[in-house]
Amino acid sequence: MRNATVEFSDGICLDVESLERILKELTVKLEDSCDFEDILNEAILSLYRVQPEGQENYGRGNSRIGWILLSRSNNRGGPGNTDIEYVPSAAVSGVYNYLQKIIGSVNLRARTYSTIWHDAKAYGGTLLPQPHDIPEVLVKDTEKVMECLGLTLENRGKK
């Protein structure tokens, strides 16, 4: 049986076996990436939980404030960026009337972050800073956690 080749628009040819091997390698890298993201989010939650009153404030279960994660699923920043998402506890969700909120973004390549309370331009001006609907302790703890991760505020001085 002869191995077929695939020719791409720029003249590059690959045999089907090589293409299958490359796709399998990319699948493994994608799975690894998702695992890294899960591990990173657990570490981030742990950093929130070591903040003052963090054990009571943060968690997926019965916590006062809720939990925070980095998510690429709805990201508007493109490759190399991720959103900082806040999932409020049932108590906070009832007060502020939302189930989830993007509160910032991380530029993975530049190792910087931005938040909606620092600069509305972080999302092209589509979200206005509304610190009144984000618990104040979450704002302070988010800045501490991002600093612990080695990230710098990309819009420092634009408050």
pLDDT digits 0-9 by tens, 146-156: 999 999 998 64
**Distance between alpha carbon 149 and the CA centroid of its chain, in Å?**
13
Task: State the number of CA atoms in the 13 A half-sphere of 4 facing the CB.
Answer: 4
* CA gap 98, 87 in Å, rounded: 9
State the pTM of this model.
0.76
pLDDT tens digits, 71-123: 888 777 788 899 999 999 988 888 877 888 889 999 999 999 998 877 554 44
* pLDDT for position 84: 94
- 113, 92, 109, 111: which is closest to 101 by C-alpha? 92
- Going from N- to C-terminal start, the domains of the chain cover 39-153
